Chains A and B, each alone.
Chain A
């Protein structure tokens, strides 16, 4: 079985400051990792994904994440946030032997203040 832990339920940050949203996972097999963003009353939008290869993954809206196998982490970062980045962020893991079934973390609410 796989699981995902998002270490911070809420992250407040000032505009133009850097931000890191933390995600740890556990699985007995190799995994694929994802970060999604959800705006109020909307579905999820894929920010970025790690499948294999380079451990540093760049996504949309200036976000990036680094896969650390030894620490079983996949933290999301952005060097300078905007007000429009205020949203709910979900980390998800999918085992490559069970295609398509993602396990989601509980989410992190990012609030960017002016």
Chain B
């Protein structure tokens, strides 16, 4: 089955530094990946759509200069949280789908717990 790997699973960083999170599709190619953010005890909020070879599409209210997305290959998308602050602490999850039929349920990564101190 489709497997999405996310790394790291946990990261602690100092305020003001940048953190990169990787999302890899291990056994399929994904032209589109999605990045979500989840606050404690809350639902997932879509942050952006990552498109291979082109710019990401950000949801309203998400700062594109703060959350940099790079989808340089068909199996890898990265999310970089720049100049992180404590309020950026959250659970970040990516998802991807094999094939062209994007609506057939997405496979989610295991998530990255970011803590900014």
A: residues with CB less than 8 A from B are: 32, 34, 36, 41-46, 49, 51, 90, 94, 96, 99-107
> A94: nearest residue on chain B (CB-CB)?
B103
B110 to chain A, nearest CB (A): 4
The verdict on A102 contacting B102 (CB below 8 Å), with A90-B43, A90-B44, A107-B43 known, is no
Instruction: Tell me whether B43 and A104 are in contact (CB under 8 A).
Output: yes
Instruction: Tell me whether B109 and A32 are in contact (CB under 8 A).
Output: no
Interface string of B33-48 (1 = CB under 8 A from A): 0100000011111100
B12 to chain A, nearest CB (A): 14
State A45–B105 Cα separation when bound (angstroms): 10
- B77 interfacial by beta-carbon distance below 8 Å: no
State A99–B46 Cα separation when bound (angstroms): 13
> A32: nearest residue on chain B (CB-CB)?
B103
9 contacts between A and B (CB under 8 A): A32-B103, A43-B4, A43-B108, A43-B110, A44-B93, A94-B103, A101-B49, A102-B46, A104-B45
Instruction: Tell me whether A41 and B104 are in contact (CB under 8 A).
Output: no
Residues of A within 8 A of B113 (CB): 41
Instruction: Tell me whether A96 and B107 are in contact (CB under 8 A).
Output: no
B94 to chain A, nearest CB (A): 8
Most buried by A among B6, B49, B104: B104
B88 to chain A, nearest CB (A): 18
A76 to chain B, nearest CB (A): 15
Residues of B within 8 A of A105 (CB): 43
